[in-house]
Structure 1
């Protein structure tokens, strides 16, 4: 049961309803976190705009960006965000074997050096306090990342810092599609919806 109740579609402002319909078109479901944030439309729009700006113009492959999101979510322990990031990885062409191997990215042959460098940054930066330092950024530059891409990676890690705190604290109910996907792909590794389950 969520700690803050989401709005129904009928309770949304016309602009938020339009944004929710666009989310539905992209994902096939209405995101419950956004329905809760919509109690403060300005906050909901700011989060949506940040999400769109991070992914909309980045030259970092979206597969890498959502790998970073998945690892950040695992470190934070937010099962809701884990399921969403994993489903987005699949939507962007990453197969189940690689999604399951993200925690072993440092030794798995499924990851290239650019992906490993990005995930090293996520592993360090997602901890509290942050353990990110010059070594992670220097390594990213060594494997070909440019400064704007470093901003994109840190923006994704930071976005999921917000999302994991929000969803885990609010106990956002995870929608059926991400639950089904995560149960199938990550269930054997201990994933379950936990407090994010439908009551």
Structure 2
């Protein structure tokens, strides 16, 4: 399915051209949100870079950060963000089986009580825009105050990116398949 706005393949802005080149090297393709959104709104590039950099500085372990983001994106139906999270999962050599079971996090033995608390909080926040006292207290039994704020921020950030992509019908770029193919080539060499 094509995005609602035609992707701009050859942007005029030198900084956007450079970003296209960098993402092509990193992901094997130019990301559709860059071609649809950033090419039309170059000012957003700096903001998005800073948000991504800030996301990387969050102290939670990378697997939990990815799970919170991917579950949020699955709930919202953001195919691009789910694909990006799966790609990152492969790139970081994490267990894809666990990420494929996110919809069953409440009952699957693959998840710890700590992970379930974070995922329940992210799910309830995404669906309701608020959480019950019980959900919050369960989260508090597993995480300190800084970690709670980090989970809250990650969930809000993921909802933000989902709300940029979904209305514009920005779907999967096949990033996970590209990453799996590159990973297989690395193992074959």
> CA offsets per residue over residues 65-108 of structure 1, 9 Å max, x none?
11111111111122222222222222223222211111111111
Aligned residue in 1 for 2:18: 18
d(CA) in 1 for partners of 2:45 and 2:131? 29
Kindly indicate whether residue 50 of structure 2 is the aligned counterpart of residue 49 of structure 1.
yes
Structure 1: state its 5+ residue gaps: 183-199
User: Secondary structure at 1:126's aligned position in 2?
Assistant: helix
- Give the 5 Å matches for 1:97-116: 97-116=97-116
TM-score with structure 1 length normalisation? 0.78
d(CA) in 1 for partners of 2:65 and 2:152? 10
Aligned residue in 2 for 1:139: 138
| Alpha-carbon contact 2:6-2:36 (below 8 Å) kept | yes
CA RMSD of aligned residues (A): 2.3
d(CA) in 1 for partners of 2:48 and 2:129? 22
Aligned residue in 1 for 2:175: 177
d(CA) in 2 for partners of 1:59 and 1:26? 24
User: Secondary structure at 1:46's aligned position in 2?
Assistant: helix
Indicate how the Cα distance of structure 1 residues 70 and 173 shifts in structure 2: closer, same or farther if over 3 A, else same: closer
Indicate how the Cα distance of structure 1 residues 173 and 116 shifts in structure 2: closer, same or farther if over 3 A, else same: closer
d(CA) in 2 for partners of 1:49 and 1:12? 23
> CA offsets per residue over residues 136-190 of structure 1, 9 Å max, x none?
33322311x23222222122211221222221211124323336779xxxxxxxx
Aligned residue in 2 for 1:94: 94
> How many residues of Structure 1 are paired with residues of Structure 2 in the alignment?
178
Structure 2: state its 5+ residue gaps: 181-189
> CA offsets per residue over residues 19-70 of structure 1, 9 Å max, x none?
3333334333221112222211112331232122112x11101111111111
d(CA) in 1 for partners of 2:14 and 2:79? 31
